């Protein structure tokens, strides 16, 4: 009866306050906590020894005056063997324990004294593999190494794995845009910080999934160590070597025989476009010095040759309109255009049909782990991805003063452009991490970390510098040749460094966390639309006869030597945070903390006031191109709770509230100088 009344009371409270989704800390390690008792009460001074079986890494602590213990900075995964001992009591052992990223493992054990006589001794422990434990304030999804290896994925991208969380829809988490998320690997920034393109760098594949140990997908956490997002947080840690040499290799391929050869019963594709995809890689890990020094390396490469445009030019035997893939321009006309440009200007257009697109993605990863002593562990890792993918000529004419409708633009069935007017988007990421985890006695754990990341995304073209030209036919684009309008000098380059230190102190019923973090980044952007010039001619005859173009646009630099302008800016952010996890009793746990962040722009020389813009009035508002966002201090208080209602973990209530601060895509800031009319 009491249980029923209490349940109704809880449901009423939930209806009033609501329950917010929560997650665990965005960290690179795990932890273990619990209480050691006998049949009379808690046991202060009991010894706990946790051994990471694959590497022999040992963690030892003693229980405090309340019989509680906390081990921080532990390796993610397992298995672990935990031994509990106390003078006058029978030692107990528990095996096959696996730790989740950022999620404390709860282990409560009751010891028997030496005078007890039982035919079988059991350890009374509470599993951390369910959501019904006191270490959680809400929901999260943790994907283990076994799941990563067994889940089907065609792209072998992290995006295929993050979809497992119920709060994710594609690259959106918690209902936010992908720019609202924060993605880290071993604590290093793996975001698309520039804010254009895929949600994560390297065309959405910044690291081989074979190099990942665990992934944690989090929504609105109440842990103040997490920041940089208003949507969701994706935290991953990489694999390390063990005392056993192990490795794997794979090879997959697709070919022409998986490509259709005809349309319906009457039409066969005259020239089968080449399709050849190869994806291969390997991983290897093991000991350099047993129980002391370990290595892990990974390599993966994907090379794809696939059909380019599916459109073909019209011919007498296959006229425009006969099937949907036949474009209006004739093969004779396009051959004439290509030959004329080569003869008169020496410009090579490339083919207009039957070509293939080639893309490459190459990943390399290496990691070293060093057990310096029983109290200190050091790891260093490097990850590199270099990729390039082809893209078709943009249909946009933004900035030129002319627009074409859907049936009149460069991608419509009325048009057929040349291969050299397409472009390649390179997407490269270079990242390094060094981390030192230290324990000082049974109460203090410290994690110091330094990271480096470099996102470098230039565009490339097979075209030599030549104006982009649209040739019209009856107001519709018929063909296009020349340098792609947004590729010339296009560059997105972001370098970032972070330094952080987390100190955890176990004080009785309180686990105190305090930390500092500093982030330094430099962004460089090149975007000179129509940098080679843009012309529109009403007909091919107008172009050949040097008639006046119907439209013209060009962007030119205002630098002293005439070289292209590359606007850049620096951004720094400093953070401090303090948090207390308070175990009130066996039924109630509270988490409260505060994070303080200060942003700054140390170099604003390129952000200047445009005198003409400053004199304009926009609906009563003045705009100053020389003013950056204000350097404000952001305060992010958080509070979470976990209530074991009946004391048996059959029913619990968890929730909380807090303020979260997201990142600004750097393109929004760097464009302020690049598009203000002062550099180009």
- Coil, strand or helix at 614: helix
pLDDT at 546: 93
Residue identified by tokens 């303020």 is 659
Q: Which residue has the higher pLDDT, 537 or 120?
A: 537
Average pLDDT score over residue span 201-223: 84
Domain that holds residue 571: 141-674
Query: Coil, strand or helix: which one is 337?
Result: helix
pLDDT confidence of residue 232: 79
Whole-number Å distance between alpha carbons of 590 and 574: 27
Q: What is the DSSP letter of 578?
A: E
Give the lowest-confidence range in 39-53, 396-410, 466-480.
396-410
- Whether the link from the prior residue into 265 is cis, omega within 30° of 0, is no
Q: Which residues of 606-616 are buried (b: 16+ CB within 10 A; e: fewer)?
A: bbeeeeebeee
In this prediction, residue 494 carries a pLDDT of 92
Q: Is residue 377 part of a domain?
A: yes
**Per-residue pLDDT at 173 exceeds 50:** yes
pLDDT-derived band at 2 (thresholds 50, 70, 90) equals very low
For residue 672, give Cα distances in angstroms to 175, 566, 568, 606.
Answer: 28, 12, 10, 9
| pTM of the predicted protein model | 0.86
* Angstrom distance (rounded) from CA 106 to CA 34: 5
Q: How does DSSP classify residue 674?
A: H
- 19 pLDDT higher than 60: no
List for the chain the helix, strand, coil content (%; round to 5): 10, 45, 45
Give pLDDT, residue 219: 80
Do the domain assignments include residue 18? Answer: no
User: What region, left, alpha or beta, does residue 265 occupy, with left being phi > 0 and alpha being psi -120 to 50 degrees?
Assistant: alpha
| Strands 312-314 vs 326-330: parallel, antiparallel or unpaired | parallel
The tokens for 5 are 């009344």
Asked if residues 73 and 96 have their Cβ atoms less than 8 Å apart, the reply is no
Tell me, what's the pLDDT at 55? 93
Nearest to 78 by CA among 94, 91, 60: 94
Residue 13's H or E segment, with its range, is: helix 2-17
Is residue 7, in this structure, part of any structural domain at all? no
What pLDDT score does 604 carry? 64
620-634 per-position pLDDT tens digit: 777 777 777 777 899
- Looking at residue 673, its pLDDT comes to 76
Q: How many domains does the chain have?
A: 1
Q: Check if the beta carbon of residue 119 is closer than 8 Å to that of residue 112.
A: no
pLDDT at 254 over 90: no
pLDDT band with cut points at 50, 70 and 90 for residue 550: very high
Is the pLDDT at 410 greater than 60? The verdict is: yes
Residue 310: band (very low, low, confident or very high) from pLDDT cuts 50, 70, 90: confident
In whole angstroms, how far apart are CA 182 and each of 56, 177, 200, 432, 662? 33, 11, 9, 18, 8
Q: Are 284 and 297 in contact (CB under 8 A)?
A: yes
pLDDT tens column, 416-464: 999 999 999 999 999 999 999 999 888 899 999 999 999 999 999 999 9
User: In the prediction, which pLDDT does 250 show?
Assistant: 93
Quick one: average pLDDT of 464-469?
A: 95
Bridge partner residues of 446 (DSSP): 438, 503
Average pLDDT value for residue range 207-227: 85
Asked whether residue 239 is assigned to any structural domain, the reply reads yes
Q: Is the pLDDT of residue 92 over 80?
A: yes
Helix (H, G, I), strand (E, B) or coil at 462: coil
Of the pLDDT bands very low, low, confident and very high (cuts 50, 70, 90), residue 6 is: very low
Rounded Cα distance between 597 and 592, Å, is: 17
> Measured at the alpha carbon of residue 673, what is the angle toward residues 488 and 470, in degrees to the nearest 5?
30
C-alpha pair distances (Å), 378 with each of 56, 70, 194, 366, 453:
15, 21, 31, 14, 20
462-465: long-range contacts, CB 8 A cutoff, minimum separation 24: 462/350, 462/419, 462/420, 462/422, 462/424, 463/350, 463/420, 463/421, 464/347, 464/348, 465/532
Determine, yes or no, domain membership for 83. Answer: no
CA distance 84 to 103: 21
Cβ(122)–Cβ(135) below 8 Å? no
Regarding beta strands 182-185 and 172-173, do their DSSP bridges make them parallel or antiparallel, or are they unpaired? unpaired
Average pLDDT of the segment spanning 202-211: 86
Q: Is residue 161 part of a domain?
A: yes
- Could you give phi then psi for residue 191, rounded to 5 degrees? -80, 160
Q: pLDDT-based confidence at 226, cuts 50/70/90?
A: confident
């Amino acid at each position: 009866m009491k249980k029923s009344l209490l349940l109704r009371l809880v449901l009423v409270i939930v209806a009033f306050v609501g329950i917010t989704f929560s997650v665990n800390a965005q960290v690179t390690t795990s932890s273990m906590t619990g209480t050691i008792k006998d049949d009379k009460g808690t046991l202060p001074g009991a010894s706990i020894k946790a051994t990471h079986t694959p590497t022999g890494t040992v963690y030892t602590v003693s229980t405090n005056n309340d019989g509680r213990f906390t081990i921080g900075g532990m390796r993610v995964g397992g298995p672990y063997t935990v031994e509990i001992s106390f003078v006058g009591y029978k030692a107990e052992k528990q095996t096959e324990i696996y730790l989740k990223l950022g999620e404390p493992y709860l282990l409560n054990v009751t010891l028997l004294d030496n005078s007890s006589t039982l035919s079988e001794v059991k350890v009374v422990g509470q599993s951390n593999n369910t959501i019904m434990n006191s270490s959680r304030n809400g929901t999260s999804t943790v994907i283990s190494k076994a799941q990563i290896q067994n889940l089907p994925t065609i792209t072998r991208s992290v995006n295929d794995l993050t979809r497992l969380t119920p709060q994710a829809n594609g690259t959106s988490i918690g209902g936010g845009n992908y720019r609202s998320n924060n993605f880290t690997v071993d604590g290093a920034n793996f975001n698309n910080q520039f804010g254009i393109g895929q949600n994560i760098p390297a065309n959405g594949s910044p690291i081989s999934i074979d190099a990942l140990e665990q992934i944690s997908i989090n929504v609105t956490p109440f842990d103040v160590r997490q920041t940089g997002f208003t949507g969701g947080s994706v935290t991953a840690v990489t694999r390390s070597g063990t005392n056993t040499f192990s490795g794997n290799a794979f090879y997959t391929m697709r070919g022409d025989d998986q490509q259709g050869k005809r349309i319906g019963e009457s039409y066969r594709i005259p020239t089968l476009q080449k399709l050849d995809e190869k994806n291969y890689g390997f991983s290897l890990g093991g000991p350099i010095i047993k129980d002391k020094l370990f290595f892990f390396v990974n390599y993966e490469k994907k090379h794809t040759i696939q059909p380019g445009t599916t459109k073909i030019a019209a011919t007498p035997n296959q006229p425009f309109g006969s099937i949907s893939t036949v474009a209006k321009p004739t093969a004779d006309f396009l051959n004439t255009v290509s030959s004329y440009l080569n003869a008169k200007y020496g410009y090579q257009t490339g083919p207009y049909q039957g070509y293939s697109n080639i893309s490459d993605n190459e990943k390399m990863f290496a990691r070293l782990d060093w057990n310096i002593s029983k109290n200190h562990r050091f790891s260093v890792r490097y990850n590199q991805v270099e990729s390039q993918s082809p893209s078709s000529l943009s249909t946009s004419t933004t900035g030129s003063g002319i627009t074409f409708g859907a049936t009149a633009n460069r991608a419509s069935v009325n048009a057929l452009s040349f291969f050299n007017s397409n472009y390649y988007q390179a997407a490269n990421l270079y990242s390094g991490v060094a981390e030192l985890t230290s324990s000082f006695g049974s109460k203090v754990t410290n994690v110091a970390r330094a990271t480096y990341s470099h996102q470098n995304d230039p565009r490339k073209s097979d075209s030599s510098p030549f104006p982009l030209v649209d040739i019209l036919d009856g107001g519709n684009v018929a063909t296009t040749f020349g340098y792609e309008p947004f590729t010339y000098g296009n560059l997105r380059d972001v370098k970032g460094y972070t330094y952080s230190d987390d100190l955890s102190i176990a004080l009785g019923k309180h686990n105190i966390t305090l930390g500092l973090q500093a982030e330094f980044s430099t962004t460089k952007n090149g975007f000179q639309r129509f940098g080679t010039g843009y012309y529109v001619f009403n007909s091919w005859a107008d172009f050949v006869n040097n008639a006046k173009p119907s439209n013209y646009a060009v962007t030119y630099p205002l630098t002293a030597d005439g070289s292209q302008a590359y606007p850049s800016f620096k951004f720094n952010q400093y953070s401090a945070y303090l948090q207390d996890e308070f175990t009130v009793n066996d039924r109630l746990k509270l988490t409260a903390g505060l994070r303080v962040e200060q942003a700054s722009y140390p170099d604003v020389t390129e952000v200047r006031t445009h005198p003409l813009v400053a004199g304009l009035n926009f609906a009563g508002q003045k705009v100053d191109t020389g003013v950056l966002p204000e350097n404000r201090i952001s305060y992010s208080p958080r509070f979470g709770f976990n209530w074991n209602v009946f004391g048996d973990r059959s029913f619990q209530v968890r929730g909380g509230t807090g303020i979260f601060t997201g990142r600004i895509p750097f393109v929004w800031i760097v464009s302020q100088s690049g598009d203000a009319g002062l550099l180009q």
